[in-house]
Structure 1
Amino acid sequence: MAENEATLYNARQLNLPEKEISQAATDIIKRLLDAGYKAYLVGGCIRDLLLGLHPKDFDIATDATPEQVKSVFKKKCRIIGRRFRLAHIYHNGNIYEVATFRGFDQSGDRVVHQGQILRDNIYGSIDQDVLRRDFTCNALYLDVTDLSIIDYVGGVQDIQNKRLNLIGKASDRFTEDPVRMLRCIRFSAKLGLELSEDCRNTIPKLTNSLLKVPSARLFDEIIKLFHCAKMTAAFQLMRHYKLFDQLFPLLKKPLAESDHTQEFLSNAFTNTDARLANNQSVTPVFLMACVLWPDMIEGYKKLITKDHKPYEALHIAANKTLEKQRDILSIPRAIQTGIRQIWVMQLRFKRMHGKGVYTTLHHPRFRAAYDFLLLRASVHEQLELKADFWTHIQELSPEAIRSLIFGKRARNGKMNAELV
């Protein structure tokens, strides 16, 4: 494909908001241009601007190699990656990703195994680079010098028509990189783009290929999905295309057998989407604790019936659940610790009198664990009194808390020792 086959659009005519374009990214591009290289804004930032959204990242594509980029920016540049080498430019406390145009030279630094690209550091021209990108909506280039959008693959029309189209055959592109199936779901849910027929027909046939992806990379992609602010919709799409069962096989049985599990997870995703919409903080720990809870609680119940004490049963069940999930997703140790803490706090919430209440209230994970309790109460009525207690106590003065937890009524109260 030759460069002159591109369609050029005037960004102003497409109502692209100039004020939303990062000045820092523009400055980086102009320095590369001054050094004699070509450079453009590329990908998701242009897509989001055309959709009326606020881009979080402004990525740059250039014909300069990572080493040449570093020679321009010196100490403000760091070359990263092995699978795909990139340059990171540090500017005013932010990081801007600069990628070199990808090419097709088969004799270069490219490793492909059974159709899956394991490493790719072959460089080329802009008209080659566009064909190496995944979706048409992510394959647009913006020339900041004249605000023209360069479109080789019909990306502008697809955005206008709310379509999500792959560049090339879905079977080939998903085989090259199975993570693209998850990106399909995320973009469709987050951006309201309809999957192409090719994608819809191909994804169910290739879900097993996700098992070939390194577990750490899969975990990173799952967190992006969890925090895309449209996970409620993404969850339904993942279930429809059998991707959720592939990534979380521990949930296949609970989801099939219990409406409570479906409702619990849907509520968790809805609440997280709402927090993100309100610019509130979220953590990977919370949703991962929600997703793995149904398997852990089933293990816990079985151990309790074998005369294990509650805390012992919970620790054993938690370890087994995390070990089973580890085969597919590499959950960082710190996140595993947070998950365990949220789960253990559910036992501590049973104690609503005495000094232990203070310990629970001041635990670092109290807020996340309390939110988790509210989610459980939303699907299990027998937990409503417990949830009401921990909601009410946060509104009381220190004197009122002392009276509540040390009074005669508290001492005579009996707690349900079960987790549901």
Structure 2
Amino acid sequence: MKVKKLKTSFLNFDDNLISKNALAVVKTLKKNGYQAFLVGGCVRDLLISVTPKDFDVATNATPNKIKRIFKNCRLIGRRFRLAHIRYGREIIEVSTFRSASMPSNKNVMMDHTGRIIRDNEFGSVEEDAIRRDFRCNALYYDPAKKKIWDFTDGLDDIQQKKLVVIGLPDNRIQEDPVRMIRALRFSAKLNFSLDKNLKKSIQRNSDLLCNVPSARIFEEFKKLFLHGNAEKVFLLMQEYNIFNKIFFDTYKEIKQDKIFNNFIIYALQDSDRRVLLGQPVSPMFLLGVFFWASIKRESLKIKKRKKCSDARSIVLAAITVIDAHKRKISIPKRFSSLMIDMLSMQPRLEIATKKNAKYLISQRAFRAAYDFMLIRTKVNEFDEEIASFWISTQSE
């Protein structure tokens, strides 16, 4: 495969933004006789004047050899063996060049749908480039020579603000259906358009998301919705028939109820604003937003069957709805329990008394419940006068 090697002095590339720790990892690997590059999203981001959030390194050193070189290294992953090299709070992720995967390779395992469930077959940098998902992510930076290696015309795609899959889109999506989610995330984050063949492939293959482990979907959910592009992502997921594959009940609700759809949009806009301001965001809050209509509907059914308070019926309804979705998205208990606390506090917020306020404000979920209430107020689901009481009380 022919590679283009371009000096960064001819490109819009600011190497002053590169982590010193990442440069140290590359330098150390080279000192020990291995090839090493900065690779992927960090190189792409540096080319579009975005400060990378993390830095990845690719090398021909195997994971075990990397571990021998770096005392601060931990090997992770079964599906893809990776090395994490820790410098205080920063982790530099190091991967070994992977070969073009074939089902016959003993270190490559696929399931019945063609999804790769384990891949530890190592290869050359050229093969590694072909294995990456999108051409704009298959760029390798050599800090010593200040050159970018481009095997797939990724630089052209960045200039054209276009997202193109390496290889045949259907094959690459079958190997890893999460690539559909990643495509929408990158499109929203980078404001890149999807290549027409990729668009068609996503529309054809959206059902393959059902084969992805629910715990992995939760991890992708966090990447999708907690980084400042939640509203864009939500609209793209609906456009490409992805949202309903994960949040099937929510999808039905928004199709039936425009007010609930607006409620979600307001919540996503608020989340994006918080990210922009550097304020914390939590997956449990947006999961509560997505599940809210289904939980309200289920709580009404529960109240007809049992004699229980509004708060208790919401707790039971939330447990039911979360359980119904567990095959699609697995929510860790530390998030689901806080989400339930936040939602069950909604009827309690309707009691506007100082005594009640003192108690609720002391609860761990109060701030989230309060923010949730404010969004409900925007769609006239919560009394404005009571909301004003809470606004003044919590700021005292």
Please give the range of the TM-score, normalised by the shorter of the 2 chains.
Answer: over 0.9
Alignment partner, residue 245 of structure 2:
246
Would you say 1:22 and 2:19 are equivalent positions? yes
Would you say 1:45 and 2:51 are equivalent positions? no
Q: Is residue 12–residue 48 contact of structure 2 (8 Å, CA) maintained in 1?
A: no
CA distance in 1, matches of 2:139, 2:85: 21
Q: Is residue 312–residue 344 contact of structure 2 (8 Å, CA) maintained in 1?
A: no
Q: Is residue 136–residue 153 contact of structure 1 (8 Å, CA) maintained in 2?
A: yes
**Residues 381 and 319 of structure 1, relative CA distance in 2, 3 Å threshold:** closer
Identity %: 38
C-alpha displacement of 1:248: 0.3
CA distance in 1, matches of 2:286, 2:50: 25
Would you say 1:372 and 2:372 are equivalent positions? yes
Normalising by the residue count of structure 1, what TM-score does the alignment of the two structures yield? 0.91
CA distance in 2, matches of 1:45, 1:386: 47
Task: After TM superposition, list the pairs within 5 Å mapping 1:6-405 onto structure 2.
Answer: 6-73=3-70, 75-104=71-100, 106-113=104-111, 114-306=113-305, 308-380=308-380, 382-396=382-396
Letter in 2 for 1:258: D
Number of residues of Structure 1 aligned to a counterpart in Structure 2: 392
C-alpha displacement of 1:333: 0.7
> Deviations along 1:16-67, whole A, 9 cap, x unmatched?
0121011110011101000000000000001111111110111000000001
> Deviations along 1:201-239, whole A, 9 cap, x unmatched?
111211111111111011100111011311111111100
C-alpha displacement of 1:253: 1.8
CA distance in 1, matches of 2:105, 2:161: 38
SS at match of 1:346: coil
List runs of 5+ in structure 2 lacking aligned partners.
none
C-alpha displacement of 1:367: 1.1
CA distance in 2, matches of 1:274, 1:309: 35
> Deviations along 1:342-392, whole A, 9 cap, x unmatched?
101112201212522201112121111110000111111652222111101
Letter in 2 for 1:324: A
List runs of 5+ in structure 1 lacking aligned partners.
397-420
Letter in 2 for 1:112: M
Alignment partner, residue 399 of structure 1:
none
CA distance in 1, matches of 2:342, 2:312: 15
> Deviations along 1:126-181, whole A, 9 cap, x unmatched?
00000000001110000010110000001011001000000011101110000000
SS at match of 1:349: helix
Letter in 1 for 2:106: G
CA distance in 1, matches of 2:25, 2:383: 55
C-alpha displacement of 1:299: 1.1
Q: Is residue 186–residue 228 contact of structure 1 (8 Å, CA) maintained in 2?
A: no
SS at match of 1:326: coil
Moved more, 359-368 or 159-168: 359-368
SS at match of 1:9: strand
CA distance in 2, matches of 1:376, 1:107: 54
CA distance in 1, matches of 2:256, 2:199: 26
Letter in 2 for 1:27: A
The two structures, once aligned, show a CA RMSD in angstroms of 1.3
Normalising by the residue count of structure 2, what TM-score does the alignment of the two structures yield? 0.96
> Deviations along 1:319-359, whole A, 9 cap, x unmatched?
11111111211100111101101101112201212522201
SS at match of 1:319: helix
CA distance in 2, matches of 1:93, 1:224: 19
Letter in 2 for 1:378: K
CA distance in 2, matches of 1:60, 1:156: 19
Letter in 1 for 2:57: I
Find the structure with the greater CA-based Rg. Answer: 1
